[in-house]
Amino acid sequence: MSAEEKIKTGEKLAEQGNIDDAVSVFREVIKGDPKNTVAYNNLAVLRHAQGDLSEAIQLLTTAIEYDSSYREAICNLVAILTEVNQEKIAVPLLKNYLMERPEDKELHILLNALEGESGEVEIKKDILPSAAFSSHLSERLEGLQVALQTQMSQQDFSGAETSLKRLAALTRHQNRTVIDALVSIYRKDDRVPEIMTLLKNAAGECFENKKWDEFFEFAYLSIYAEIFFGKSPNYQYSRVDEDLSRYVRLYAKSKKASDKRISNHLKKRSSAKLKSNKKKIGFVLEGFSDRQAPLKTYYSLAKNHPQEQYDIIFYSRQALDSPQALAENYDNSIKNLKSWNCQVRCPNSRLTPSNQIDFLIDAITKDKPDALIFQTTYFVPQYGAVAALRLAPIQAALEHQQAEYCRDIDLLFTPKKLYLDSLSTTYPPLISQKELDAKPINRKELGIPNDATVLISVNRHVRYSQPIFWENLSAVMESNANTWFVGVGLESVDEVIPGESKIKERIRATGFKTNVADYLAMADIYLDLFPSGGGSSVLEAMYFEIPALCFEQDFCAPYSINSETVSSSFVQHPELIIANKDYSDWQKRLLHLIKNPEFRQEKGQQVKATVSEFAPKLVAQRFFSTMSSHLQGT
């Protein structure tokens, strides 16, 4: 087989999702033909997909050394260098290429977006040349590209933005270079909503053209635009876009009509007779990260499921060789699940979005579960598509503070406030607290006196970006010189309290920690962040007899992840729950806890007793009892 034939074989394997086999084929080509630039480029793309950016950069560099005119390799290398914030290397690479090929207008646009100046681009005097008004679309596009180069060279970003918007519209949002350049301009001013809209438009065009992988990619990027492109992500734009939900449901409708696996599965399910009283429940999760709080709930259900009544199967689109899986100990989580007689279905190698859906369809139709439980539907569109296929008689979801409004969910375990907006049959949220072992952190290691009163919060770094919390905390700490605050998950004090402050020296930012229990065990009072609070960490604090101070939910206000707290549902003690937005009362109650150790101890003992309601076995019993009542007759 020739090198060209092997490359075609490797490309076909990659398209089918057989990434490991494709990698082997391209390595074999390079071994026999060390100067085959196409093999280097293709292998680099796959190694990038597998998370090895270093090898991808090395492979592309080699390809360009052998062929400095290889445009695709140059574009791929520039994209990866930009991804790792190495624009200083990417810019000269583009300039060298364009010196020999000044007619390549698309790469001029990309270069200008990266550096904000024209470089070697020839400047034309007329900002909008006559070609921009041509009756022919191709000439108009060329004229707008010329105008864009001029605008970027003059750092006229407002004009450049207008030209890019026109180019995006005229190319139906299908030119990735134009999209990337427009995103770069929006990022300068942190205009996340406009990035979301731009990417949604790109997703919509891909949907119309049945470019499914690109559709799911752009939809996902639109949903998480704040995380990927925002300067200081804090989930303020985390909300459901009904347009994207409709696209996903329409995709599922077409998939159901064209995929015989689905129609055969649904036909057999409707005619099947009950053969066993033992039921199958499938959990569809976004990976198996041991760092994510929701996994604790699924752990409890898996470990305590009545094995004589249920077979438990866990599904995920995430591959075992993905960087996230390797970094977040998927293998250890899966080992635990299997030790509790649960089955796990996830791909070994990374798949494209549409292949992820096919993998899940194949696994689910073979297993034939009686119920599917989704961790999310909207926030990972592939799962929304699977939910819309209705592959199980009963479908449920466990919402983790964020409302998703999915039409394809029959049972919803969700915070009480979200009952008001749910289309499904609703039940209280599933959250459990197991027994914890802890070795309290030595306060001296943190520079905190042993006789100090230690306040503590636990959350992701972005959740600490709530000025009203710091304003009220500062007011209390300034009047209590021996009170200290520990922010577990907080990366930097300067980010949340810029400038001078009297309390900065008594705040400790630990960054991300896996031994959260050790920090909680040395603290005196837990503070739920506000306006947007936490959940599982509150229960952990209560387990260590630490009184947790929180706000009650405002049921009359519209739902917003930026102002929601579910902690009062767990704390349950009126002395520790403050009326919504009554910040003066929050300060008074915190001061009372600080100055009265006996009262603090009494409240700590009370919240410790409350935690027993969330014991894993009890939570599992409630869940499976609920499922049993709905599965009768399926």
**Domain membership flag for residue 482:** yes
- CATH number, domain of 419, equals 3.40.50.11380
**Domain membership flag for residue 352:** yes
Q: How far apart are CA 180 and CA 113, in angstroms?
A: 8
pLDDT score at 498: 83
pLDDT score at 118: 36
Domain termination residue (choose one: 427, 459, 484): 427
More confident residue, 478 or 113: 478
pLDDT score at 505: 93
- CATH number, domain of 487, equals 3.40.50.2000
Q: Which domain holds residue 355?
A: 245-427
Q: How confident is the model at residue 385 (pLDDT cuts 50, 70, 90)?
A: very high
**Domain membership flag for residue 408:** yes
**Same domain, yes or no: 373 and 451:** no
**Domain membership flag for residue 196:** no
**Same domain, yes or no: 401 and 499:** no
Residues near 374 by Cβ (< 8 Å), separated by ≥ 6? 284, 383, 387, 395, 396, 397, 398, 406, 409
In Å, what is the CA distance from 110 to each residue of 153, 170, 217? Answer: 12, 18, 21
**Same domain, yes or no: 602 and 536:** yes
pLDDT score at 555: 77
**What is the average pLDDT score of the chain?**
88
Of the candidate ranges 364-373, 451-460, 533-542, the one whose mean pLDDT is the lowest: 533-542
pLDDT score at 36: 93
Q: How confident is the model at residue 124 (pLDDT cuts 50, 70, 90)?
A: very low
**Same domain, yes or no: 559 and 416:** no
Of the candidate ranges 125-134, 300-309, 620-629, the one whose mean pLDDT is the lowest: 125-134
Query: Is pLDDT above 60 for 51?
Result: yes
**Domain membership flag for residue 77:** no
**Same domain, yes or no: 406 and 468:** no
pLDDT score at 29: 92
pLDDT score at 127: 63
pLDDT score at 123: 40
Task: Return the exposure string of 554-568: e unless at least 16 CB atoms fall within 10 Å of the residue's CB, then b.
Answer: beeeebeeebbbbbb
Compute the chain's Rg from CA coordinates: 28
Among residues 116, 218, 240, 113, the alpha carbon closest in space to that of 173 is found at 218
Among residues 433, 438, 434, 600, the alpha carbon closest in space to that of 519 is found at 438
pLDDT score at 607: 94
Q: How far apart are CA 604 and CA 108, in angstroms?
A: 64
Torsion sign, CA atoms 567, 568, 570, 576? positive
Quick check: pTM over 0.75?
Answer: no
Q: How far apart are CA 359 and CA 262, in angstroms?
A: 12
**Same domain, yes or no: 401 and 488:** no
pLDDT score at 401: 63
**Domain membership flag for residue 328:** yes
**Same domain, yes or no: 420 and 494:** no
Domain termination residue (choose one: 395, 427, 459): 427
**Same domain, yes or no: 330 and 474:** no
| DSSP states of 205-229 | HHHHTT-HHHHHHHHHHHHTHHHHH
**Same domain, yes or no: 593 and 508:** yes
**Same domain, yes or no: 542 and 588:** yes
**Same domain, yes or no: 321 and 458:** no
Over range 363-385, report the average pLDDT: 95
**Domain membership flag for residue 318:** yes
Residue range 593-608, pLDDT digits in tens: 999 999 999 999 999 9
Residue range 246-289, pLDDT digits in tens: 999 999 999 999 999 998 888 887 666 555 678 999 999 999 98
Over range 88-104, report the average pLDDT: 81
Residue range 390-437, pLDDT digits in tens: 999 999 998 876 778 888 999 999 877 677 778 788 888 887 777 778
Residue range 125-157, pLDDT digits in tens: 446 777 778 788 888 888 888 888 887 777 788
What's the structural domain count of the chain? 2
**Same domain, yes or no: 515 and 554:** yes
Torsion sign, CA atoms 305, 310, 314, 315? negative
pLDDT above 90 coverage of the chain, percent: 51
pLDDT score at 119: 41
